[in-house]
Structures are given as structure tokens and as C-alpha cells.
């Protein structure tokens, strides 16, 4: 449930790095509970997102699931 709100747990043997907008934020996150601002996807063409697809959030979810399955498989 903590992952929904942007909280991540970094275990004792890990260090966390955060990328925001494709750039590395300064510093390494130490082990423990840390908050990461969630950025899930970016709409490149808003006209296509609204006009060509009925529900673009569902479409993005389906593409992500399909890509993940193909990488795992």
C-alpha cells in the first residue's frame, strides 16, 4: 500500500538513485523508507491521447503489461 503513495523501502544492502524527467537527482537515497515523487508516463501528443483512444490511461496500462510480458517471456 505504501507504493501507491510514492513511498519506497530501500533495504540495508541497497542504495537508491532517483531519475526525474530523465535526469539524475543529486545524492544517493540511504536505506530505509523514502518518498519518491511518482511520474508514471508522459503524453507526447495530447490530441492522439484524447481523440484516437477512448481511455488512454487504460491503453497505457495495457501497453505496459504487454511490454513487460514480452520482456519476461
pTM attached to this predicted model: 0.42
Interatomic CA distance for residues 31 and 29, integer angstroms: 7
pLDDT value, residue 1: 46
Interatomic CA distance for residues 25 and 19, integer angstroms: 6
User: Which tens digit of pLDDT belongs to each residue from 27-66?
Assistant: 888 888 888 766 766 777 778 887 888 888 888 888 888 8
- Where along the chain do its domains lie? 1-39, 41-73
> Residue 10: CB partners within 8 Å, gap ≥ 6?
16, 29, 30, 31, 32, 33, 34
Does position 4 have pLDDT exceeding 70, yes or no?
Answer: no
Amino acid at each position: 500500500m505504501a507504493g501507491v503513495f510514492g513511498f519506497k523501502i530501500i533495504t540495508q544492502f541497497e542504495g537508491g538513485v532517483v531519475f526525474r524527467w530523465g535526469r539524475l537527482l543529486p545524492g544517493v537515497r540511504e536505506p530505509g523508507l523514502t518518498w519518491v515523487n511518482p511520474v508514471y508516463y508522459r503524453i507526447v501528443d495530447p490530441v492522439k491521447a484524447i481523440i484516437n483512444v477512448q481511455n488512454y490511461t487504460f491503453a497505457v496500462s495495457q501497453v505496459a503489461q504487454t511490454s513487460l510480458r514480452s520482456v519476461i517471456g
